[in-house]
Amino acid sequence: MIITIGGPPGSGTTTISKLIAKRYGLKHVCAGFLFRDMAKKMDMDLSEFSKYAEEHPEIDKEIDAMQVEIAKEGNVVLEGRLTAWILKKHNIEPTISIWLKAPPMVRCKRISERENRDKEKTLWDMIEREKSEKKRYKEIYNIDLEDLSIYDLVIDTSPWDVEGVFNIICTAIENLKKDKR
């Protein structure tokens, strides 16, 4: 089973990805964690490293290559904004591709509470990061993150708690498993 889960910061991708991986006994790999580790190694915060990555496309390509190799092994939840697109470009068909979304202020509140940060600073950083990613992904891959047509399931996570979103996704996965029998 290969499950991709993408979405903007604060939409719930990491929380849900970990729960799905645990529920189905899958490995969890997060492109954002790989990116953060690279930033840390270069002694940069996420905003600085995002700007750096704009000038160094090899950063994103390295992360993407790692995800492709992991996907080939199977039994994984791959979390990342580009993951479904990258797998498609490499002719790897996920079992299900999911996009989580939420309004910017909802996401900002979640991030600022999670990281114990000022909301205004969090909003600014979130907007800058998203602009940088949008620019990089368009320039490097010609991918428009607003095009959700490749996703099997798109969920606005703002109306539900974690359990509600988790249940929606588990129901979709269980229905897919039934259909394949």
Is 15 annotated in some ligand binding site? Answer: yes
DSSP output for 64-120: HHHHHHHHHH-SEEEE-SSHHHHHHHTT---SEEEEEE--HHHHHHHHHHHHT--HH
Is 6 annotated in some ligand binding site? Answer: no
Q: From CA 112, how far away is CA 99, in angstroms rounded? A: 22
Is 12 annotated in some ligand binding site? Answer: yes
Is 158 annotated in some ligand binding site? Answer: no
What residues does 30 pair with on adjacent strands?
79
Is 9 annotated in some ligand binding site? Answer: yes
Is 83 annotated in some ligand binding site? Answer: no
Contact, 82 vs 134, CB < 8 A?
Answer: no
Query: 10 Å Cβ neighbour count for 20?
Result: 22
Is 57 annotated in some ligand binding site? Answer: no
**Which residues carry a binding-site annotation for ATP?**
7-15
**Which residues carry a binding-site annotation?**
7-15
